[in-house]
């Protein structure tokens, strides 16, 4: 490719960028954007977005496993009746205060950390974080060493011990690799919402909110601003994308 094809002058670049910015900005700090708008399929994800979740433990019903079931169906995860080693992308956890006997129930999944320990330890680069904050395993280059499983403080990852008989075409999974919650990346890229969040909403609990935590106008950002959202093991300084209320 010749240089002239790609080389626009610095001045014209600055001018065009300024025009584009002016078109988007209404007032300082206010931008026009739609939350649910899907990005064009040919566009790469951008770090202007960070996908996150806010889980309200007060609304999460103990005994309800709608999110777990929805995740398993969506991603074709089947049980081998071996609970210790079965794949598990999301699980329900019940916490009980020994003193007061007060119980809270919450879904535990990949926390999509800003500084993910699983990415730090991966020897092949299979464990990585997308620009929009979603932490994934590239199973094409995963060698199944399971370092990431040890590094994860949330026990969020599982190993596929058995051959997977694929039941869905949007989530290829296979034996010998590590897997975890993808925040339903195939849905998110098309403007959708993770299956667990959808199921929680359909079960009329509405305990889970999904959205862009970098966009101040999104529902999740408004809720976080109003009520705050705690990180589990905040002491590790991982800046998780999944936040909880009421813990």
Partner 1 sequence: MQQLNKRMHNTLITIAGLAMLVFSAFAFAGEKPSFAPKVPHPTNGSTECVQPEDEMKKNHMNYILHQRDQTMHQGIRTKTYSLKECINCHVPENSEVRFGDDKHFCSSCHNFAAVSIDCFQCHMDRPMKGKGTQGKNPHTAQATPTADKTTISTDIADTSKSVQDTKEAGNE
Show contacts with partner 1 in window 134-193 (CB under 8 A). Answer: 136, 138-140, 155, 163-170, 172-175, 184-193
Residue span binding partner 1 (CB under 8 A) among the ranges 13-21, 81-89, 223-231, 236-244 = 81-89
Q: By CB under 8 A, which span of 3-11, 19-27, 73-81, 115-123 interacts with partner 1?
A: 73-81
- Residue 226 class from Cβ within 10 Å (0-12 exposed, 13-18 middle, 19+ buried)? exposed
The least CB distance from residue 211 to partner 1, in Å, is: 8
Closest listed residue to residue 136, CA positions, set 162, 161, 110: 110
Rounded least distance, CB 83 to partner 1, Å: 6
Choose the stretch contacting partner 1; rule: CB under 8 A; options: 3-11, 24-32, 37-45, 112-120: 37-45
Residue 199 C-beta: closest distance to partner 1, Å: 8
Give the helix/strand (H/E) hosting 90: strand 90-96
What b/e sequence results for 100-134 when a residue is b if at least 16 CB atoms lie within 10 Å of its CB, and e otherwise? eeeebbbbbbbbbbeebbbbeebeeebbebbebbb
Q: How far is the CB of 220 from partner 1 (least distance, A)?
A: 10
Q: Which of 152, 197, 207, 238 binds partner 1 (CB under 8 A)?
A: 197
State in angstroms the smallest separation of the CB of 14 from partner 1: 26
Binding mask 201-230 for partner 1 (x = CB under 8 A): xxxx-x---xx-------x-----------
Determine the size of the site formed for partner 1 (CB under 8 A).
Answer: 80
CA 33 to chain centre: 21
- The smaller minimum CB distance to partner 1, of residues 29 and 40, is found at 40
Q: Check binding of 44 to partner 1 (CB under 8 A).
A: yes
Q: Which is nearer to partner 1, 4 or 231 (CB)?
A: 231
Q: Are 105 and 93 in contact (CB under 8 A)?
A: yes
Using the rule CB under 8 A, is 62 a contact of partner 1?
yes
- Lookup result for tokens 């977005």: 49
DSSP state of 76: T
3, 43, 99, 100: which one contacts partner 1 (CB under 8 A)?
A: 43
Phi, psi of 116 (to 5 degrees): -75, 125
The DSSP code sequence of 217-245 is TSHHHHHHHHH--BPTTGGG----SEEEE
Helices (H), the chain: 3-6, 10-24, 66-75, 117-121, 147-151, 185-188, 195-202, 219-227
Considering only CA atoms, give the Rg of the chain: 20
Work out whether 82 is an interface residue with partner 1 (CB under 8 A): no
Closer CB to partner 1, 19 or 85, in the complex: 85
């Amino acid at each position: 490719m010749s240089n002239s094809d790609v080389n626009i002058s610095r001045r014209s670049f600055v001018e065009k960028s300024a025009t584009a910015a002016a078109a988007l900005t209404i007032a300082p700090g206010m931008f026009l954007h739609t939350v649910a708008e899907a990005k064009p399929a040919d566009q790469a994800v951008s770090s202007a977005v960070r996908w996150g979740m806010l889980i309200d433990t007060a609304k999460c019903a103990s005994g309800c496993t709608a999110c777990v079931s929805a995740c398993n169906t969506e991603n074709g995860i089947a049980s081998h009746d071996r609970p210790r080693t079965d794949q598990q992308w999301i699980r329900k956890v019940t916490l009980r205060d020994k003193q007061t006997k007060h119980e809270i129930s919450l879904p535990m999944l990949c926390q999509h950390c800003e500084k993910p320990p699983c990415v730090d330890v991966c020897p092949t680069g299979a464990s990585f974080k997308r620009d929009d904050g979603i932490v994934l395993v590239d199973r094409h280059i995963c060698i199944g060493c399971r370092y990431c499983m040890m590094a994860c403080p949330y026990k969020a990852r599982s190993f596929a011990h058995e051959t997977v008989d694929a039941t869905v075409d949007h989530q290829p999974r296979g034996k010998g690799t590590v897997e975890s919650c993808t925040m339903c990346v195939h849905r998110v890229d098309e403007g959708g919402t993770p299956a667990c969040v959808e199921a929680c909403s359909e079960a009329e609990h509405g305990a889970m909110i999904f959205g862009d935590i970098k966009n101040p106008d999104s529902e999740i950002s408004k809720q976080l601003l109003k009520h705050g959202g705690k990180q589990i093991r905040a002491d590790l300084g991982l800046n998780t994308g999944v936040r909880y209320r009421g813990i």
